[in-house]
Structure 1
Amino acid sequence: MLIQFSVSNFLSFNEKETFSMIAGKARKNIDRVFSNKKIKLTKCEVILGANASGKSNLVSAFQFAQSVIVDGLPRGFSNKFFRLNPENKSVPSEFEIELLCGSKIFVYGFSVILSTGSVLEEYLYEKISPSSKKMLFSRDTALGLFDVGNYFKSNDAIAKLNNYGEDSVADQEVLFLTIINRNKGKMFSDFPELQVLRNIFEWFSDRLNISFPDSILTGYPYFTDANLDEIAELLNALGTGISELKIVEVPVEVIKSKIPDEFYNRIVADLEKANARIQTETDDRPRIMARSYKEFYTFEIDANGKITITTIEFSHENKKVFFDLNEESDGTARLLDLIEILFKVSDDRVFIIDEIDRCLHPSMTVKVIELFLSMAKKRNTQLIITSHESRLLASEMLRNDEICFVYKTAQGKSIINPLEKYQLRADKKVYAALFDGTLDAGPSFDEAKLSRLSE
C-alpha cells in the first residue's frame, strides 16, 4: 500500500512536495481505514484544484517514476524539469516513494538530471521508526559508490548484491532496482533473502495502476466467463440499461484489417514467448489485451500455439440483440474502464485515475466513489483520483484526510495541501469553503480584465 510520494523539479513541481495517504485522527468512517501496529492509511484520496493547478502533473509524476523503474527513462523526459526556473535544467529531479510491503515499511528513492538523462543517486531502506532504518542498498553514480547496508544477513547474498551493484555504478542511464530485476530469476531462487528486491519492483510493475482520461486501468482482466454476470448486474444497477454480456470470438482476418501488421505480429510474438515459459498444462495460458477507443480485444494462445481473439458484446432490454462496445455511449465505455476498482481482482492494488469524472454524469461519479468506499471496508485497495466534481464534497461522504488540494502560485509552482492543513472550523462545511475562498482550490479570475473584454 502507498504511504506517501514526494517529488521535486518535475513539470510544475519545483521544491519538494509530498502527497500522503497517512490517516488523520478523525473517527468518521474509521472502518475503512487500514490500520496495523505501525501505521494507519486511508484507502481513498480525492485531489481537487483549479484547471492547470498541477493535478494531472502529480499523476504524471507517479507515472514517470513507475516508468523509469519498470522500463527505463520514457520518451520525452529531457524537458520535464521545472522550466520556469532556467537553473533547474542542471538540478536533479527527485522522487521518493514510501510504501507498505507485507508488514514492513520501505522507502525507495532516486534522483536524475532530466536534461541529460543521468541517474545520480538511488536508495532503498526499511523504515523501522521515524529515527531508525535498515539500508538495503544505496548508489551514487557521481562518486562511483555502491553500498549494501545492514538489512541482509547472508554473506553470500550480500556478496552477490555487491557484485551487481559495483557493476552498475558506471551506468547512469538505468536504475539499480531495474537492473537487479532483469532476468535474475535464478538469483532470487538461489538467494531467497534478496526476494524483497523483486517484491518492491513488482509493487511498481503490478500493483500500481495509473490511468489518464484517454487510457484504461489494466486492460479489462476481469472480463472472463466466470464473472460476466456480476459485471452485467453492476452495470445494470448503475442505470446503463445493460442486462447481459457475452464473450464472442473475432476472426483473425477482421483484426488484421483493423490494426497494423507490426502491432499484430508483436502481440503474437509476445504470446509465443510467454507460452514457451509455461511449466505445466494446468498453468493459465497467456493473454494480451489490445485496446483503442471503444474497441478492445483479448488475444490468447493455447498449448498448440493457436491464437484466439475475443471481445465483449452487450445486450440491453431485449436480450436477443447484442451490441459492440463502439455502439455503446461514451459514459458506458468510461464505466467499463473504471469498474475494475469495484471487483475483488483489484484487492491490494493502488489505482491512480486522472479526471475520473470524464464522460460521467455527476451523480454517477459520486455513486462509483460511494461504492468503492463501501467496499474499501473489506479490501486493501487504494484509490487516488483527480476531479472537478464538487458533489463529492457536498455529499460529505469523505473523511477530511481523504481530501487534498493542489494549487498553483503566482510563480507557477504547484503546491500540495491536504484539507486538514487548512484547519477549518468544526461548523465549516468543506463544500462551502470550496467556493468562498477559504480553500486554494478554485480558479482565480481577473474581474477587471474580464469586464473590459465584455464591453
Structure 2
Amino acid sequence: MLIDFSFSNFKSFRDEQAFSMQRVQRFVDGEDAYAGISTVAAIYGANASGKSNLLQAFAYMRGMVVTSYAHGNIDSRLPRAPFKLNAAQAEKPTEFFAEFIAVDGLQYQYWFSYDNANIQTEELRRFNKINGKASTRASLLFSREKQEITFGPSFRGGRAQVKETIKRRTNALVLSVCAAAGIDVTQPAFDFFANEVRYYQASEFSVEESRIIHELQTDSDYGRMLSHLVRYADFGIESVKAEQVDMTPALEQFKQAFPDTADSEMFKPLFENGIGLQLQFNHLGEDGTMTLPIDEESLGTRAALAFFSLALENLSAPTVAIIDEIDTSLHPTFVKEIVGLYTDPATNPHHAQLIFTTHDVALINTAPSEERTIQPDQIWFVEKSKQGASEIYPATDLGLRKEENIGKNYLNGVYGAVPKPTFHEAFARIMAKEVA
C-alpha cells in the first residue's frame, strides 16, 4: 500500500509536492478497516492544471525503478521531464520519494534524485518488526551519493558486486541493480514498484480488450467471472465471448493505411488465414438471442467492460491502480460503483488502492442526508499559477465541515482548482469581428 508520495521538478510541478494516502481521523466513520491508510484518492482540477502530471510522476518513478538497469547501458540517457518554464530549475535534479507497505508486510521509505545522465542520490530504509510490532525508527538498507554507496547493517547480499556495477553504471538505480543481482533483502521494495503499481490512461481502455479476448478464449476463471459481471451491468447483454471471425475486410483496410506494418513478420500469419479473434456480445431481444460484434457496441459498453476487467485483476491483490481520467466514456453511476468496490472491505479484501483524476463532481456532490462515496480526506485539488507551476493540496487544508457539499462548492470556485472561463468575452469579440 502506498502511504506517502512526494516529488519535485517534474513537468508542470516546479516545487516539492506532497501527496498522502493517510486518513484524517475526524473523517473516518467507525473502525477504519484499512488501519488509517486510504484505499481511494480522487484528484480534481481544471484542464491543463497538472492532474495527469501528478499521476505520471509516480509512473515515472516506477519506470525508473523497473528499467534503469535492465533496459539501459552505460550511455543511456535517463527519462526525465523537468519544469521547463524556468531555465535554472530545468537544470536541477528531479526528486522522487515514496513510503509504502510491501508484500512482506514491512514499511519502506525510498527516494532518489537524478539528472539527464546520472543518479545523484538514493536511499532505502525499512521499518523492521520487533515482537510483532513495527519499529518507530527506520533501519538503513543502503544510501548513495553519486557513485559512493553505504550499506546498513540489515543489508544482506553481494555488496562488492553492487558497488562495482554502480561505478560502471552511474545511470542505474541501486534498487534496480539489487533486483538484477537477486538480492533478497531489497526485493520486496522492488516488487512494490514492478508488480503492485499499475498506471492506466482511461482513454486507452481498448488495450484491455486483447487481454479479455485471451481470458475468454482459454475459458479461464477470470473470463467466466467477467462474463458473469457483464450480465449485471444493465446493458441487455447476456454474455460476452471471443469468437473466430473473418478479418479479411478489416485487414485489407489496415494494409492500405499501413502497408509497411502490414508486411511485417508479426502480421504475416494473420494475413495468411484471414481469421482472427473478436469479442462478440450476446443480447437478449424480442426474437431471442442476437450476437453483435464489438464494433457495434457503444464506447460506454466497451469502456465499462474494460474497467470491469481492471477491477477484477487489481482487487485480487494489494495493487495500486493509478488511472488518469477515470470518467472517460463512463457514466457517473459506473464511476461511483468502481470507486465503491475499493472502499468496501468485502470487495477489497487485499487493501488494493485506486488513485484517479476526474471531473466527475457526482462523487463529491453529496447532500447532508446522503452517504458519501469518498470522504473529504480522500480528495485532492491541483491548481496552476500564472507562472505555469502546478500545486497539489488536500481538501482537508481548506477547513471543510464534515457535512459540507464539496461538489457544489467546488463548481462554484470556493476551493479554487476550477477553470476560469474568461474566453467567453474574447469569443464574443471574435464573432463581432473586433479581433483580427
Consecutive unaligned residues in structure 1, runs of 5 or more: 189-193, 269-296, 298-307
The corresponding residue for 2:110 is 108
1:348-367 equivalences under 5 Å are 348-367=318-337
Q: Deviations over 1:270-289 (max 9, x none)?
A: xxxxxxxxxxxxxxxxxxxx
Q: Shift of the alpha carbon at 1:386?
A: 0.4
Partner Cα distance (2:143, 2:249) in 1: 52
1:130–1:80 CA distance, 2 compared to 1 (3 A):
farther
Distance 2:263 2:95 in 1: 40
Q: Retained in 1: the 8 A contact 2:384–2:391?
A: yes
Residue number among 145, 170, 176 corresponding to 1:140 in the alignment: 145
Letter in 2 for 1:242: I
Q: Equivalents in 2 of 1:251, 1:203: separation in Å?
A: 42
Change (3 A) 1:248 1:448: closer
Tell which deviates more after alignment, 312-321 or 409-418: 312-321
Aligned-residue CA RMSD in angstroms?
Answer: 3.4
Picking from 424, 428, 433, the partner of 2:400 is 424
Give the aligned partner of residue 335 of structure 1.
304
* Distance in 1 between residues matched to 2:265 and 2:357, nearest whole Å: 32
Contact 2:42 2:357 in 1 (8 A): yes
- Cα drift, residue 63 of structure 1: 1.4
One-letter identity of the residue aligned with 2:107: I
State TM-score, norm by structure 1. 0.76
| Residues in 2 aligned to 1:382 and 1:67: alpha-carbon distance in whole angstroms | 19
Cα pair 1:242 1:317 within 8 Å, conserved: yes
Contact kept in structure 1, 2:203 and 2:328, CA below 8 Å: no
**3-state SS, counterpart of residue 231 of structure 2:** helix
Match of 2:65 among 66, 69, 84: 69
| 8 Å Cα contact 1:256/1:264 also seen in 2 | no
Q: State the TM-score, normalized to the length of structure 2.
A: 0.79
CA distance in 2, matches of 1:415, 1:45: 16
Preserved CA contact (<8 Å) 1:33 1:43: no
1:247 maps to what in 2?
242
Aligned residue pair count: 394
CA distance in 2 between counterparts of 1:32 and 1:242 reads 37
Aligned partners of 2:140, 2:333: CA distance in 1, in Å? 48
In structure 2, the CA distance between the partners of 1:76 and 1:151, relative to structure 1 (3 Å rule), is closer
State the shift of 1:111 in Å.
0.9
Distance 1:309 1:8 in 2: 47
2:138 partner SS: strand
Question: Does structure 2 retain, via aligned residues, the 8 Å contact 1:228–1:245?
Answer: no
Partner of 1:273: none
1:87 partnered with 2:63 = no
* Distance verdict in 2 for CA 1:55–1:437, change over 3 Å: same
102-111 or 46-55: which moved more?
102-111
Cα distance between partner residues in 2 of 1:344 and 1:82 = 35
Residue 221 of structure 2 corresponds to 226
* Same amino acid, percent of matched pairs: 25
Q: Give the structure 2 partner of residue 443 of structure 1.
A: 419
Task: Mark the CA change 1:8 to 1:332 in structure 2 (over 3 Å): closer, same or farther.
Answer: same
Shift of 1:56: 0.4
Compared CA separation, residues 398 and 242, structure 1 to 2 (3 A): same
Question: What code does the residue aligned with 1:244 have?
Answer: S
**Aligned 8 A contact 1:211 1:353 in 2:** yes
Q: 1:203: how far off?
A: 1.6
**Structure 2 CA distance, aligned partners of 1:215 and 1:313?**
20
User: Does the residue aligned with 1:34 lie in a helix, a strand or coil?
Assistant: coil
**Quick check: 2:45–2:382 contact (8 Å CA) kept in 1?**
yes
